[in-house]
Amino acid sequence: MKEFKLWLEFEEVDPGNWDIDNEFANIKVDLPDGRKYGINVWTYQFFETAIKTDQENAENLNGTYLIPPDLFVKEMTRSCIENTIQDLLKTGDLENVLNPSIKIEIPN
């Protein structure tokens, strides 16, 4: 049972024009208790693409290192990401399961 609202950059910015296997996107997760998360997501295949891009552009010491996203997924689809978030929430709070910086703090 889904207990969160999910915003997906790829559905809003350029729907229908995304490579589900080799892509990255930002997502937003809103929980019923008011917590909000901004998560950078990459597909497994995009990991390789990012390395090649760094090597070609002489960035990150020519691909010697790569700053990772918050989450890797098999494919960039609503179904895959919804199922992933739902499974992660079974484990615990997203800021503890993933990266504490994903939590969006709303100023009072």
pLDDT above 90 covers a percentage of the chain that reads 87
For the chain, the structural domain boundaries read: 5-104
Give the model confidence (pLDDT) of 53-69 as tens digits. Answer: 999 999 999 999 999 99
What sign does the CA torsion over 77, 69, 10, 34 have? Answer: positive
3-state secondary structure at position 82 = helix
Its pTM stands at 0.90
| Angstrom distance (rounded) from CA 79 to CA 106 | 28
- Provide the strand spans (E) within 24-95: 24-30, 36-43, 71-73
pLDDT in tens, 18-44: 999 999 999 999 999 999 999 999 999
